[in-house]
Structure 1
Amino acid sequence: MEKLTMLDYVKETPGVLRTNIEQYTALVEPLMKEVQKKEIKRILLVASGSSHNACYCARSFVEKVSGLEVRIITPYTFTYYENDIKENDLVLVVTQSGLSTNAIEALKIIKKNQCRAICLTGNKNSDVKDVADVVIEYGVGEELVGYVTKGVSSLALFLDLFAIAYSGKNEYLEELKKAVHLNEEMIGKATNFIQLHYKEFSSMSWVYSCGAGANYGTALESALKMGETIHIPSCCYEIEEYIHGPNLQLTPQYNVIFFDGNDVASHRVEQVYKATRKVSERAYLISNNPGLADDDHVLSLSDTVSSELCPLVYLPFVQLLSFIISDDLHSIYQHPLLKEFKAIAAAKTENFVNYDGDD
C-alpha cells in the first residue's frame, strides 16, 4: 500500500470539512459542556506550529461571532512566562498529534495552577490523555504526514463552529459551507497557477508571505509550510509591516506572496503588491480584486467569503505549493545532523513515529 502524501490529505479536506459542518453540534458538544460550567470572557489558545497558525486563521471569525476575546500564545511562552489564568478564561491547549512535549508541559502548568486542563487534539488516545483533565478531538481524523494540511483547516473550522454553537448564530453555517466549496475550487486553480509559474516557484531561494486580519494566519502557515518542506528561508509579515523594513532588502530575485481579504483593506494590498512588482516579477497575489483580473500573477476564484473566513479558502494554495515544489525537488529530506539536534532537544515524545522518513 502506497503512503499517503500531503496532496492526498489536501484533497480529503473538503469532504472532512463538509462532514464536520453537518455534524457540528455533536462535534463541539464536549467543549460546549466545558463552557457551560462558568462564565467565559476570554479564550486562551495555547498552540505551536501549524496548530498555532490555525488558531490565527480562526481568531477573527471567533471574536466576531462569539463576542469573546481570543488570545493565542505558544506553549513555551505560556509555560515559562505568561501563565496567569483569569477566572473567566477558557484555556485550550492544542496539539494535533497529542505528542508535542511543549503542549504536555503547558497542560501540567494549567493543572499546577489548579485549573481545568483541556486539550484539543487529533488523537484522543495519544500521550496527552495521561496529563489533561479533558481531551477533545476536533474532527481531523487520521493524518499521518508530519507536514499537516487537513489538520490546519479542520482545526480552524472547529474553532469557527464552536463560536457558532456558543453564540447560537447558525446563520453563519451557510457561509462556512461556501468557504468549503471555494476550498475545493482552490485545489484545482492553485495547481494550475503553480504550473503557470513553475520556473519561478521551483527556483525560489527565499520567500516572504504577507497577510493581515485572518489572513495573517494564512501567511504564518505559508511561511512555516514552505520553510519546513522546501527548506528555504521563509518569513511571514503583516501587510503593512512588510514595507517598514523587510522590503528594503528586495531584489528581482525575491519571492513575495500576498493574501488579500477582499475587504476594506484590499486597496492597500493592491498598492503594496504593485510596488513589489516594480522590484521583482516574483510577486504573487491571491485576491478577487476585479481591477487585477487580467494579471496572470493574481489567483482569483469564482466567488468570495467574508475576510474572516478567507483562510479556509486560501490554505490549499499554501499547502499545494509546498508539496509540489518540495516533492519535485526532493527537498524535504533533513540534514543528517538534525538527528543529533533532536536527541538533545526533542519536540515530540518517544511515542512519535516519523511516517515521512525524511530524517
Structure 2
Amino acid sequence: MKNMDYYIRSEQSVYENIIRSRKDLLQKVIQMEKVDYQAIVIFATGSSSNAAFAAQLYMSDKLAIPVYVEEPSTAGNYMLHLNKNTLYIAISQGGHSYSTIHLVKEIERQGGIVFTLTSDLTSPIAKASTRAIDLGMGIEEMPYVTLGYSATILMLNLMALELALLQGKIPEAAYQSEIAELKKINAHLSQVIEKSAAWVDEHTQELMEAERVFFIGYGAAYGVAREGETKVTETIRITSFGKELEEYMHGPYIGLSERDYIIFLEPQGLLEDRAEKLKQFLQGHVKKIRTIYADAGGENADDLLLGMRTAELLTPLFMTIPIHLLSFEISKKKGINLEVSAFPEFDKITKSKI
C-alpha cells in the first residue's frame, strides 16, 4: 500500500524526471507569445497554496516582477479584475477543487491567460483549461499530499526559468547554471531523507507529547512553515501554526506557553540574524525549541542539519521533507489511519471537490 513515506521517498526520482522532461512538460509556456508580463498571480489553496508561497520569491527573483499568491474563492467571488499584463497560474494537484475550477472557467471566459498545473490531465480542472500543464509526477493516491506539494514547487521554479529565458531576462548560461543547481539538490535528496528520518526517530517521544506546534520561517521558508501547519493539523491532529518570522514577532509571541513546541525553519538567508534574536528571547520562556537548518550551523544537538549548501530561495525544495516525515511517523505512532478519510461526508455536504 502506498503511503506518505512512499511518496516522500519518491521525490528524488520524480524531481529527476521533471527536470529531464521540463521542455516537454512546459511546452505550452515555451511556445507562448513573447509577452513582457509585469506581474504573476497564482491561485491556489491548501498545500498547493503552501507550495506557491515556497516558490514565490524564486519566481519573482528570476523574472524581476512581483508574484502574488491568492485564494481562488476570494478572487473568484470578490476581486477578479483581469489585467492583460498579468500572467495567471491556477494550481489544483488532484484537479477537483471547486473554487479553483470555477476561477479557471471565469478567467478563460473573460479572455485571460491562465496556466493550470495539475497531476491529472483527465480531471475537471484540466478539461476546463486550454493551458493545462502536467505536474509530471503521476497521481498521488493519498489525501495528505507530500509529493505533489514538492513537485509543484519545482514546476513553478522551472516555469519561471523558462519564462525568464523566453523574455531575455536571463542568458542561456545563467539558465543552465540554475538547472545544474536543481540537479545538485536532487542528487542529495536521499541524504536529506535519511538525516530527517533519523532526527524524527530521535525526537519521537517529545513530538508525541507536543500539544501545540509552531513552525516559524522567513523568506521562501514561509511556504515551508505554512505546509508544516497544514500537515501536522491534518495528520497528527493537534493545534499547529505556520508563521512568518516577523508575523510571529508582532503579536502571537505574547500567547506563547512553555509547553509550546517551536520549530524554526532556517534557510540561512537574509534574516538569519533576526531569527536568532527571536530564539534568544524564546529560550527564556519555552522548553522545546528546535531548528531545521538547510546546511550546517547551530550548537544545539537537538537541531537538524540537512547539509545542503544552496541558494536561500531554493531551500523549500528539500526543507519540507523532515516535516512530512514527522507528520507521517507521529500520526502512525498515535494510531491515526491516514488511508481512511476522517470525515467521509465532508465533500458530499460542502461540495468542495467536483
| TM-score normalised according to structure 2 size | 0.91
CA shift for structure 1 position 44: 1.2
Cα deviation digits, residues 179-231 of structure 1 (max 9, x gap): 22343322111111111111111122111111111000010111101111111
* Equivalent residue, structure 2, for 1:356: none
8 Å contact 1:121–1:138 — kept in the other structure?
A: yes
Could you say what the CA RMSD is over the residues aligned between the two structures, in angstroms?
Answer: 2.1
Matches of 1:279 and 1:332, distance apart in 2:
35
- Unaligned stretches of 5+ residues in structure 1: 350-359
* Equivalent residue, structure 2, for 1:6: 4
Matches of 1:305 and 1:203, distance apart in 2:
34
SS across alignment from 1:202? helix
* Equivalent residue, structure 1, for 2:311: 306
| Residues 1:100 and 2:102 are matched in the alignment | no
SS across alignment from 1:271? helix
One-letter amino acid matched to 1:113? Q
Matches of 1:337 and 1:295, distance apart in 2:
37
| Residues 1:19 and 2:17 are matched in the alignment | yes
* Equivalent residue, structure 1, for 2:290: 284
Q: What does 1:256-295 align with in structure 2 at a 5 Å threshold?
A: 256-287=262-293, 292=298, 294-295=299-300
- Unaligned stretches of 5+ residues in structure 2: 166-174
Structure 1 pair 306–203 and aligned structure 2 pair: CA distance change class (3 A): same
CA shift for structure 1 position 114: 2.7
Which of 287, 296, 299 lines up with 2:301 in the alignment? 296
Structure 1 pair 225–38 and aligned structure 2 pair: CA distance change class (3 A): same
One-letter amino acid matched to 2:284? K
CA shift for structure 1 position 76: 0.6
Which of 210, 224, 238 lines up with 1:232 in the alignment? 238
* Equivalent residue, structure 1, for 2:250: 244
Structure 1 pair 157–258 and aligned structure 2 pair: CA distance change class (3 A): same
| Residues 1:205 and 2:211 are matched in the alignment | yes
One-letter amino acid matched to 2:281? A
Cα deviation digits, residues 298-343 of structure 1 (max 9, x gap): 1112332111011112011111011111111123569999445433
* Equivalent residue, structure 2, for 1:32: 30
CA shift for structure 1 position 176: 1.2
| TM-score normalised according to structure 1 size | 0.90
Cα deviation digits, residues 338-358 of structure 1 (max 9, x gap): 445433312211xxxxxxxxx
SS across alignment from 2:79? coil
Cα deviation digits, residues 124-176 of structure 1 (max 9, x gap): 11112332222111212221111111111111101111122222322111221
* Equivalent residue, structure 2, for 1:171: 177
State the identity as a percent. 27
SS across alignment from 2:116? strand
Matches of 2:294 and 2:129, distance apart in 1:
43
Q: After superposing the two structures, state which structure 1 stretch, 113-122 or 186-195, moved more.
A: 113-122
One-letter amino acid matched to 1:237? K
SS across alignment from 1:348? coil
| Residues 1:44 and 2:41 are matched in the alignment | yes
